[in-house]
Chain A
Amino acid sequence: MMKGPESKSERGFRWALPSISILGLIILMQLPYRISFLDNLLPFLPMAAVYYWGIFKPNLLPVSAVFFLGLLQDILSGGPLGMMALLLILVRLFVIQQGRRFLEREFLFSWLVFIIVALIFGLATWAISSIYIREPQYIWDALGQSMLTIAIFPAIVWGLGLFRLMLVAEKR
């Protein structure tokens, strides 16, 4: 499911596609959906995208881009400045430390590792937010966001897979 042609070079604006896709997901997360339960349960879409691009195109998603995208999410959401920047960098670092070949093997394996990453990510947002607010917050909200992110991970992989196809330059 996650395999595809990766050997061809990227040309033109295509080098920015991973960052653009994450920017799009950040904007998508900030839209007013006007659904009562969704404001507590919106999935961590940019985190899933950083995980995905960290496996397949880490060279096109430099740590500086991850930092500024995370910072932008913090600014637009009104959350603690630096929280998402820090956590997204750590997700990218984890994926790269594991090595592409390790995670690229099978979709199911990648998904299983993602479950652990998403749960730790949810716990970390809960911990940082609680410290920032100086009052322990309701942990199940963050874990609920993690669960939803895990559940829709295949859909995110499919969507970003379409983006990845655009990265393959035509033979000239």
Chain B
Amino acid sequence: MKELKHRFSSGFFIVLALALLIFGSNNTSFVNAVRGQITDFFVPILSVASRPLQAVDDLIDWTQQVAIVFSENKRLLAENAQLKQAQITSSQLAIDNQRLKRLLNVGEGQVNIIAAARVVSDSESPFFKSVLINRGTDDGVLKGQAIINEDGIVGRIINAGSSSSRVLLATDINSHIPIKLASSGINMILEGDNSPYPKLGFLPIGEEISVGDLILTSGYGMVFPPDLPVGQVLEITEEGIKIKLSAKLYNLNYVSIVGYEIIRSSVTRRDDRSSKGKK
């Protein structure tokens, strides 16, 4: 009798797991809401549990910084002098750029930093590349928003709970990010393939690309603001073009959640109103 009961309960849970595998893959709003609530509960635990790792990481960073402090200071002084020159040039270009945009009536993209967040969990799976961050809808985070860090793009929010969110990394096979070649402005798609180096898709025939070329976000898709650093071309083979991302996705600590929207200039809004009035 006991054996029969055991067999029945095992069978029941196997069927339940199979049903979840088949129907849970649709990622319905109910499934996402339940996932969000459970991760909300575990994020504080993961946050506390990851503190020792954080402390070790900080110690290693500190030791490395102390070891190179003199050479780094020398390099930074030289870089500072160069940057001062570049700042003067770029401020002149920014004024020119604004004037030309006003003349052409180009819609200005507005980038809002929604929040800064800490990465508290990593999927640590070869087939699913995502991380959990400790910010959610309570902090203004929404599904689809972009995640960046100081080096470049990281990924986008795919599920937001009230106090935690899941970020699909740019290396995941489901990640597709509109990008462009910095030198020529050719638009392409960055396609994750679960390897550390995502590949380039939709390179127009006849266009030239070479190792070391800089890749930026194009701003298409309205998720990532334009001109954010993505990475550099790592290798070009018959199988495809591989990109080395600027951000080290295996070493994420703090990230920023970014909202992006196009704000039309006052000239356009006035034109829109007048055309509606005429109708």
Contacts and interface: CB of A to CB of B under 8 A. Distances in A.
Interface in B17-73: 17-21, 24-25, 31, 35, 38-39, 42, 45-46, 49-50, 53, 57
B123 A35 contact: no
Contacts of A125: 127
Main secondary structure of the interface of A (DSSP, over half): helix
B122 A80 contact: no
Given A80-B24, A82-B21, A132-B25, A34 B252 contact: yes
Interface string A14-52: 000000000000011111111110111110000000000
A85 interface: yes
B9 A64 contact: yes
B124 A77 contact: yes
Contacts of B122: 30-33, 39
A42 B250 contact: no
Nearest to B45: A27
A27 B42 CA distance: 9
Interface residues of B, number: 49
A159 B3 CA distance: 31
A82 B18 contact: yes
A42 to B, nearest CB: 4
A27 B253 contact: no
A69 to B, nearest CB: 11
Given A27-B46, A77-B124, A32 B119 contact: yes
A89 B126 CA distance: 22
Contacts of A80: 21, 24-25
Interface residues of A, number: 53
B91 interface: no
B34 to A, nearest CB: 8
Interface in B119-134: 119-132
B47 to A, nearest CB: 10
A29 B125 CA distance: 10
A71 interface: yes
A76 B166 CA distance: 9
A77 B25 contact: no
B194 A138 contact: yes
Interface in A88-144: 89-90, 92-93, 96, 125-126, 128-130, 132-133, 135, 137-138, 141-142, 144
A113 B53 CA distance: 34
B202 interface: no
A71 B20 CA distance: 9
Nearest to B253: A34
A145 B251 CA distance: 20
A31 to B, nearest CB: 5
Nearest to A37: B250
Q: Which of B49, B57, B121, B131 has the most CB of A within 10 A?
A: B121
B196 interface: yes
A83 B24 CA distance: 10
A126 B25 CA distance: 16
B24 A89 contact: no
B53 A30 contact: no
Nearest to B54: A32
Contacts of B20: 71, 81-82, 85
A78 interface: yes
A167 B255 CA distance: 43
B25 A89 contact: no
A17 B43 CA distance: 22
A165 interface: no
B23 to A, nearest CB: 9
A63 interface: yes
Interface of B: 6, 9-10, 13-14, 16-21, 24-25, 31, 35, 38-39, 42, 45-46, 49-50, 53, 57, 119-132, 166, 173-174, 194-196, 248, 250-253
